[in-house]
Amino acid sequence: MADFCVDSDYVCEMKSISIEIDDSKLLGLIEDLLIRPIRVEVNGEALAILINSERFYELVEAEEEIEDLRAYDESIRYASPNIPWDEVKRDLGLS
């Protein structure tokens, strides 16, 4: 089953699995995951980083804030001259 998280421009697809915790080693890993990330290695090579869901959503929110700041910086860099509101109304025949 896939879950979708959508927030502004960020879209991701996550695979969800349901597990029964009857393995003490697995339970210990999940408990550790609530405290700190876990690096999954295969043959000594980092394959994935597991983080808890709260941290994941914090990172998504932080990424969105960074994107907003970049957009703001970009808009300031290429700012067009301001047009007084009275002039806009006059040009549109509103005054």
pLDDT digits (tens, 9 = 90+) for 5-63: 555 445 567 777 777 767 777 888 888 999 999 998 999 999 999 999 889 889 888 98
Instruction: List Cβ neighbours of 12 (8 Å cut-off, separation of 6 or more).
Output: 4, 5, 60
pTM score, two decimals?
0.57
pLDDT at 9: 46
Number of domain units in the chain? 1
| 22/83 Cα distance (integer angstroms) | 68
Q: Is residue 54 part of a domain?
A: yes
pLDDT at 92: 92
> Which of 14, 16, 48 is closest to 29 using CA atoms?
48
The domain containing residue 61 runs over which residues?
Answer: 37-80
pLDDT at 17: 75
Q: Which tokens is 92 given?
A: 């549109």
Q: Is residue 66 part of a domain?
A: yes
